[in-house]
Structure formats: C-alpha cells, structure tokens
Structure 1
Amino acid sequence: MPADLTEKTDRYEAMLADALTEATIAVPEPRPLGTAAAEIREMAESYLEDGRHFRENDDPVNALAAFSYGYGWLDAGVRLGLFEIPDETSLFTTA
C-alpha cells in the first residue's frame, strides 16, 4: 500500500531535522571544502524552513519536495566526506 502524503511528509520532515542534528561539518572553514560543507548545510536548513512554510500554507506536495531535496543535499555532503556522522546512524548512505 502506498504511503499517505501526510505520513510521508511527516517522515521526511523528521528525517531531515534529525539528519541536520547528526551531521557535523568535518572540514573547518576557511578551507574551500569547509565552505562547501557550510553551504550545503545552509541549503539543507533552508529547505527544512521552506518545507515547513509550505506545510503551514496547506501545500504538502511542495513541503515533501523541499524536505526531500534538503535531505538529498545533506546526504550528498555526507557521501563526499564533508560531514561526520555517528557510526550507529542509519540516516545516510555511506557506501
């Protein structure tokens, strides 16, 4: 059975918020990679805020898209080694 839009939006909002809590920048600024990590984190935070704005304005489709896109940015940063994450987390793709 496909996931309900509300349930999926709730899940992706929580997943992005949790991912932002768990991921810490691995490379300090002002190094170029540190700057890239900070920009990726800012993008993910912005998409979380945007998604919450869409949700407050009864636009769950764009809310889900924003949460998903923000999570994708952060997950890519983890995959590139720009962020450190706890060993026990299952929030990110690390292969």
Structure 2
Amino acid sequence: MAADLEEKTDRYGTLLAEALEAATVAPPAETPMAVAAEECYEMAESYLEDGRHFRDDDDLVNALAAFSYGHAWLDAGARVGLFDVPTEGHLFTV
C-alpha cells in the first residue's frame, strides 16, 4: 500500500508541474480577470512547492493533498476561462 501512495504522490506531483508549464493566463493583462488568474496560478505554484517539501520529508499524505489542491486551482481556473490550456491529453479536464 505504501508503494501505491508513493507512486500516486509522484504522479500527481509531475502532473501539477506539467500543468503549470502548460497553462497561460487567458484574460488581457492588467484586467481584474488577469489578476484573478495570476492569483490562482500562484496558489497552484505554492501548493507544488509545499507538496515537494512534504515529499522530501516523506510525508506522502500531505504531499499528495498539496499536489491535488494545486491542480484543482489550475483545473478550475481553466474551466472558467482564466487559463488557456491544452484540450487534448491528461493535464486538464476541460
């Protein structure tokens, strides 16, 4: 069971890192929606950093939670049009 948690944690960490690379702010710069998008993006980045910290400490449960929360920020933002993201592949559910 620990091996499954380790694999899933690493997979979600990679997923979040790849999703961050693929997402770009969609609204025009310096608009309220662009500010909201940047804040969502920063939250996702922060959760990636937190998850990596937890992973380095072998705290797999909190690492997986952080990676999942970070991806949720990006995925929700993509669904409401804050981010341009690939529509094909495994990174987003749009």
Q: Structure 1 length normalisation: TM-score?
A: 0.91
Mapped to 1, the partners of 2:49 and 2:90 lie a distance apart of 23
Could you give the per-residue CA deviations for residues 32-74 of structure 1, whole angstroms, max 9, x where no partner exists?
1000000000000000000000111121100000000000000
Percent identity among equivalent residues? 66
**Please, which runs of 5 or more residues in structure 1 have no aligned partner?**
none
How much has 1:29 moved relative to structure 2? 2.9
Residue in 1 that maps onto 2:4:
4
1:13 partnered with 2:10: no
Paired amino acid for 2:18: D
Q: 2 CA distance for matches of 1:68 and 1:15?
A: 9
User: Which range is displaced more, 57-66 or 85-94?
Assistant: 85-94
Structure 1 residue 86 displacement after superposition: 2.4
Task: Output the aligned Cα RMSD.
Answer: 1.5
User: What is the 5 A alignment of 1:1-95?
Assistant: 4-94=4-94
TM-score, normalised to structure 2, is 0.92
Segments of structure 2 that go 5 or more residues without pairing to the other structure are none
Query: Runs in 1 of length 4+ with deviation above 6 angstroms?
Result: none
